[in-house]
Structure 1
């Protein structure tokens, strides 16, 4: 038995047909008890750009947190991203959660003409980017001499409303990212590990044993701060079993014993999430597709904040 942290729920929203529809979607999510509206960050596919979309969602709501799952570090210099996000934190009255990852989807890089570096390079650059973001969000001039980023006495304003920084959400599939998340993240989203070539997830990953191992990797790295981390995963399928689009085209059958698949009626789904919270400490669950909102809202109503 582990400490019972209150349930929090996010939902990934990709696009709408109009500004009015986007605002109405955000208000429905807020009214239904979700904690956070999250957006992905890819060039390929029908998706809004995250900074503009999150700003519009913030303007349409009053309590709903906004964030990304996740910004791809390679698509923006962290100084540029840092200024955009500090501004967004101000205009949202401190409701921003910063989801950040290395960047992984090879098709994005290839179609945009960006170099796709080896995993170690992308990870090391990402670690530096986290340092830079926190540096430019801090008071006073900030200098940095890294392998990938160099800053000289930069004073960047505005500063975020949240102190010392907006909360950081990290996805974790492989051991290095999971360990880093345990040390520095406020939210951890457990994911499937991706292939080094950026073509999808590793066929060897998935299933209960792997999922439990990821929790323990975060726990070991976090130490005493584990109880302060909101840790969870993206829920790929809910309600009645059906063929649904998912981010990796992975065979979801291997995930049946994990909270990435939550089937049955509202009570059954709520019971499964309670088990994962009470037994393993997971409390932040993200609905992968807002097309499933109607099915999942009764679960959120039963559990949110409890």
Structure 2
């Protein structure tokens, strides 16, 4: 049984889940239990038996397949064994978010070029209207074609709007992508924020608290479903009854989950549940995207990271921290920073203060490479996502980091 999202929690039995005092949520938001049981092996078809054992699920994909190693092993001195990380637990990764809905042939060539340049991930946003980001392809269908025309490039969402799909449907789509891509999927999830697209699509725009409640429930459901557990939830917003999702994913226990946000409740949730946390440096609380300089300051970013740590507790160092920077490769950083300051109306800031923002990368190739190293050491950011308009400008930075490793 599937129950569609509702703004008012359904009155069903709620089983509290004990959590440590370090990660306990506000008592107003009691966590609901999701009961899951490992799926028994049932061979109803002539293909491989799908169960919780990796080699039995996907015998054609070795357990040490490169696509499964989305986090690389580190040596004792903190250096990545593949050589890109120095003095940090996490190696650098660089993703590309698609902002050019090119015609089919050009688009496929564009994706192949992203892979050829050495980027790690290719990502799509999830919006119904062109506000702020322009026209967008539907992410899951587009990612399927991206996977089909590449071999090593990882694919993902930045991020799925949780209110657009039931978690049972989303889990099946993501698992299918993971299997057919050979284990290259990363799932980015968000609570939704753009009020205008809700209005135009006739969707109810609930309060942030309700939307985040739904997101938390979705994350717990999807984690169970992606493991092909028999899942029952007496939810608040969703209810499933002994649902087993097929297929089981290649990546175990599930593909990496990214949760992005900029405020305390989402970031503590992300710290508790996500493998990757995206730090948002714009203000979307009003249902619009506001380039508030206060959100981009070093102090604000440190506060956001503190909220992640609050939710994560002892697992904080295992989380990959991600940022979408403002990027400009130039030999005249002061001029570029002045233009950014003027265009955003940040008249109270000096050029030096703009350049010091953790989410701003302005300078020549060598300067940006040094800045990335320094900010990884200071803040922990190791995963940066840039616009596909900037791949050619950024490619020399990527090459410089590889040479220096």
What TM-score, normalized to structure 1? 0.91
Q: Note the aligned Cα RMSD (angstroms).
A: 2.2
Bigger mean CA offset, 269-278 vs 206-215: 206-215
Give yes or no for contact 2:114–2:122 (8 Å, CA) kept in 1. Answer: yes
Name the CA distance, whole Å, in 1 between partners of 2:103 and 2:305.
39
Question: 1:26 maps to which residue?
Answer: 111
**Of 107, 110, 119, which aligns to 2:208?**
119
The alpha carbon displacement at 1:228 in A equals 1.7
Q: With CA pairs under 8 Å and 6+ residues apart, which has the higher RCO, 1 or 2? A: 1
Question: 1:211 maps to which residue?
Answer: 301
Question: 2:218 maps to which residue?
Answer: 129
Name the CA distance, whole Å, in 1 between partners of 2:278 and 2:402.
17
Larger Rg: 2
Deviations 1:198-218 (A, max 9, x none): 122374533221012212222
Name the CA distance, whole Å, in 2 between partners of 1:186 and 1:129.
15
**Of 197, 200, 203, which aligns to 1:108?**
197
Give yes or no for contact 2:111–2:146 (8 Å, CA) kept in 1. Answer: yes
Select the structure that is richer in helix. Answer: 1
Name the CA distance, whole Å, in 2 between partners of 1:285 and 1:304.
15
Question: Is residue 285 of structure 2 the alignment partner of residue 196 of structure 1?
Answer: yes
What TM-score, normalized to structure 2? 0.70
Structure 1: which 4+ aligned runs deviate by more than 4 Å? 249-255
The alpha carbon displacement at 1:255 in A equals 5.2
Question: 1:290 maps to which residue?
Answer: 388
Aligned residues: 301
The alpha carbon displacement at 1:304 in A equals 5.2
Deviations 1:248-279 (A, max 9, x none): x9657775323321111110111110101122
Name the CA distance, whole Å, in 1 between partners of 2:163 and 2:378.
37
Question: 1:264 maps to which residue?
Answer: 363
- Structure 1: 5+ residue runs without aligned partners? none
The alpha carbon displacement at 1:2 in A equals 6.9
Question: 1:273 maps to which residue?
Answer: 372
- Structure 2: 5+ residue runs without aligned partners? 1-85, 331-335
3-state SS of paired residue (1:205): helix
Question: 2:267 maps to which residue?
Answer: 178
Name the CA distance, whole Å, in 2 between partners of 1:176 and 1:187.
16
